[in-house]
Amino acid sequence: MSIHNRYDVIIIGGGPIGLACGIKAQDAGLSFLILEKGCLANSLYNYPQTMTFFSTSERLEIGGVPFATILPKPKRAEALEYYRRVQEKFALPIQLFEEVLSAEKDGDEFKVKTSKRTYLAKKVIVATGFYDVPCLMNIPGENLAKVRHYYEDPHYYANQNVVVVGASNSSVDAALETFRKGAKVTMVVRGDAISDRVKYWVKPDVENRLKAGEITAHFNSILTAIREDDVDIQLPNGKTISIANDFVLALTGYQPNLAFLKKLHIQLSDDTALIPQYDPKTMETNVPGLYLAGVVCGGMNTHLWFIENSRVHADQIIQHITTGNT
Ligand SMILES: Cc1cc2nc3c(=O)[nH]c(=O)nc-3n(C[C@H](O)[C@H](O)[C@H](O)COP(=O)(O)OP(=O)(O)OC[C@H]3O[C@@H](n4cnc5c(N)ncnc54)[C@H](O)[C@@H]3O)c2cc1C
C-alpha cells in the first residue's frame, strides 16, 4: 500500500465501524485512509479471550460480507477473523499502530497529525469507540498492579482471592469464569441486583452460583480501599469489612476518549451524559467536515450504540460527503 499525504477522507479508528466507513468510501470512489492506533480491530482484540457476543453474527456484518459461525452468537476469535478477512477482501488501506493526535482545520482541509506523520484530508471520520478509557473508581490503591480494568483470561486467577467490581456483562463473565478456574470470588455491586442487561443465558447461571454460596456478592456495597493483601468494602448498613484479596477486577465500564473529542473541538452535552454533538441524519459534528461514527456517539451512555445499530452510520456519512444529502 502506498501512503500519500492527501486524501478525500481520513477515518480515525480501525474497528468494525471504521472499516464499514472505509468500505462505503471505497464504493463511492473516494480516496481514503484508515488510521488505527493499535492492531486491527484493537478493541475486539482486547476483549476477554473467551468472550461471546450478545449479537447474532449477521447483525455484526459489514460490507454485505456474510459472517458464518457455527453457533448463532460469535466468539471474540471468530469476530477478529471476520473483520480481518473483510479488511483483506476489500484491500482497505489502513495504517496500524499509528495514533491520531490531532485534526485541525486548515482552510478547506484538515491537518491530521499522528504519532508518525501528518496528512491532509477534506473530511475526517472519528470512529474511535469507547474501549480505551476505563471508568475509574478513584479509591486508594486503585493504581496497584493487582488491580485490572481489563480482564483477559481466567486461568491466571486460579486459587486466588478475586474481587470483581460491578454486575454487568463483563463483571459477570469474569466472576463465573474465574470461579470455574478455582478462584474464590467476591462480587462488590453498587446496585441491588445483577444487571438486567446481562446476557439472558448467563444471568441464571450467576444467580444460581450466588444462591448456592459458590460466589459471594455484596449488593448495595462499594469498594472503598485496596491494599496489597486485602480490600475494604462498605456494606449497606454503613459498616466496612476487610477481606483477604489477591486481585481486583474493576470492570466498571469504559468511556470514550472525551479529551480527544474536545481536542478536535467537538462540543459535548453539558449534562452527565457528555454526548458529542452531531446531526443524527448526517453524523456531521459541530465542526463542518468532521463526522462521528460508531459507539463513540453515545458519550458516557455507552449502552446506546453497538455494532448492530451503528454500522448504518457509514452509509449516512458517505452519502452526505458525496451528495451533501441524507
Ligand atoms: C465486552 C464488549 C462486548 C460487546 N459486545 C457487543 C455485541 O455483542 N454486539 C454489538 O453490536 N456490540 C457489542 N459491543 C459494543 C460495540 O460493538 C463495540 O464496542 C465495538 O467494538 C464498537 O465498534 P467501533 O468501531 O465503533 O469502535 P471500536 O471497535 O472500539 O474501534 C475504535 C478503534 O479506534 C481506535 N482508536 C481510538 N483512538 C484512536 C486514535 N486517537 N487514533 C487512532 N486510532 C484510535 C481504537 O484502538 C479502536 O480500534 C461490545 C462491547 C464490549 C466492550
Task: Please list the ranges in the chain whose pLDDT falls under 50.
Answer: none
Q: What is the rounded distance in angstroms from the CA atom of residue 274 to the CA atom of residue 297? A: 10
| Cα 154 to Cα 284: distance, rounded to the nearest angstrom | 42
Q: How far is the CA of 51 from the centre of ligand 1 (A)?
A: 14
136-250: which CATH topology? FAD/NAD(P)-binding domain (3.50.50)
Q: Tell how far the Cα of 240 is from the centroid of ligand 1, in angstroms.
A: 37
Query: What distance in Å separates the CA atoms of residue 289 and residue 297, rounded to the nearest whole number?
Result: 16
Q: What is the CA radius of gyration of the chain?
A: 21
| Pair 109, 10: CB distance under 8 Å | no
pLDDT at position 144:
98
Ligand 1 binding pocket, CB closer than 6 Å: 12-18, 35-38, 42-44, 47, 51, 53-55, 99-100, 127-129, 131-132, 170, 257, 260, 294-295, 306-308, 310
Q: Which atom belonging to ligand 1 lies closest to the Cα atom of 42?
A: 49
Domain boundaries in the chain?
Answer: 3-133+254-323, 136-250
Residues 182-239: tens digit of each pLDDT: 999 999 999 999 999 999 999 999 999 999 999 999 999 999 999 999 999 999 999 9
pTM confidence score: 0.94
Which residue's C-alpha comes closest to atom 6 of ligand 1?
A: 53
According to the model, what pLDDT value does residue 324 have? Answer: 80
**C-alpha span between 84 and 243 (Å, rounded):** 44
| pLDDT attached to residue 4 | 73
pLDDT in the model for residue 105: 94
CA of 254, closest atom in ligand 1: 53
Q: Atom 41 (ligand 1): residue with closest C-alpha?
A: 100
For a mutational test of ligand 1's pocket, the pick from 128, 149, 266, i.e. the residue with the most ligand atoms closer than 8 A to its C-beta, is 128
Which residue minimizes the CA distance to atom 50 of ligand 1?
306
CATH number of 3-133+254-323: 3.50.50.60
Which atom of ligand 1 has the smallest separation from the CA of 45?
49
Same fold, 3-133+254-323 and 136-250: yes
264-292: pLDDT as tens digits: 999 999 999 999 999 999 999 999 999 99
Q: Which three cell numbers stand for residue 191?
A: 446496585
